[in-house]
Structures are given as structure tokens and as C-alpha cells.
Amino acid sequence: MKIRDIMTTNVVTVEEKTLIDDARKIMEAHRIRRLPVMRKDKLVGLVTNHMLLEASPSPATSLSIHELHYLLAKMPVKEIMVKNPYTISPDMPAEEALQLGQEKGYGAFLVIEDDRLVGVVTESDIVRVMTKVLGVREGGKRISIRASNDFGNMQKIMEIFDKYKAVLLSLMTLPPKEGEKDWLIVLRLKAEEIGPIVKELTSSGFNVTYVG
């Protein structure tokens, strides 16, 4: 699944000359926390709700609240925005974007294609879709297995599922941790009885670590 499959395309934007107070009102009206900043049709920056809060009047300043409100009313978002924000391609895999966001500490990405802003995707968007892909909302039973990546192991597991007419809802694999050799295979399936499946997986040499 790619970013273009889950991104929001009707992106609310502002021009770099938009005043901070106006940007705040736009965020409140659309219930969003980020505003891409444009110069004509080109992305030049990003302003977030956190930035607007930091630009709000503070009791610690020597200026009066009225003076600060006056200054902020005249200040455009280009004075506080992040210039040239990090962007991704709509063809980036969703899981790669999720990992990138975690590494860089980003909660959202602006999506650029052919030098045009075509969408925005948040970490919540990706997690929500991944949850759907993993079949969590479909119910069923979860089985976790520790196994090597030897050729034929997945075929053996599928044959056992077929034998008991179990429907595989999702499958996820995680590589071995440092010092370990077995992969973690997390399966979610629908079956009339889970006990016989677990018993046969175990007798076939698989280390079943979780059933629930």
C-alpha cells in the first residue's frame, strides 16, 4: 500500500503573506494542526498549531498584551514557518513512511509529486490503515509463532490452516532480534476451533508463543 492510497488530497493551505491570526482561525475552522505555506503554487514552508501557540503573547514579555496582539496581527506566517519542510513521494510504501516518521519524530508528511503539493498524510492515517490491513477489526484469533525462515515453512503453516478450514485474515513477520535466529510470525485467522490448529503447529515443529 502506497501513500497515495491513504493521503488526504483536499489540503488546506495558506499563502506566506497570511497573517498569523488568520492562520490560527483557519486551523480552528478546519480542525487541523498543520498548514502548508505556499508561494503561488509552490510549497515553501509549513506552520503548525504548536508554532502558533509559541507565537502567542507571553506574560514574561515586557510588552503589553495589547502591543503583542497588535504585532501578531501584522505578522505573516512566513516569519515563523519551517522553510522547505521535509516531503515524501506519493509512491512511498506506507510502512516506510511510518518508520521514517518514527525515526525523525514527525507526526505528518506533506506529499509532493512533480513539484506540486498533492496531499498530506499523518501518522494516525497510516496506523489506522495498517490496523485495517492487519485485520484487527475483523476479530478472529491471533497466533504468534517463532520459526526460522527456511524455505517451505510458510507452506506448511498454510497447509495446516487449509486442513482445518481456517481463514487467514492477516500475516505479519518481524525479523529476529540481535542474538536470536527465529523470526516472529503473527497470524490472525478465523476458525471454528483454534486448539487443534495450535496442536498441529506445535507437533510440526513450530514454536507457538501466543494464542489469543
pLDDT in tens, 130-165: 766 666 566 678 899 998 888 888 899 999 999 999
Burial class (CB in 10 A: 0-12, 13-18, 19+), 75: middle
Query: With 70 as the cut, is the pLDDT of residue 20 above it?
Result: yes
Q: From 3.20.20.80, 3.30.70.260, 2.60.260.20, 3.40.50.620, which CATH number describes the 136-211 domain?
A: 3.30.70.260
Let me know: does 110 contact 43? Beta carbons within 8 Å.
Answer: yes
Confidence (pLDDT) at 72: 66
Judge whether 3-131 and 136-211 match in fold: no
Mean pLDDT of the region 51-71: 60
Q: What is the pTM of this model?
A: 0.65
pLDDT at residue 16 in the model: 95
Higher pLDDT, 127 or 37: 37
* Fold category of 3-131 in CATH: CBS-domain (3.10.580)
- Average predicted confidence (pLDDT) for the chain: 85
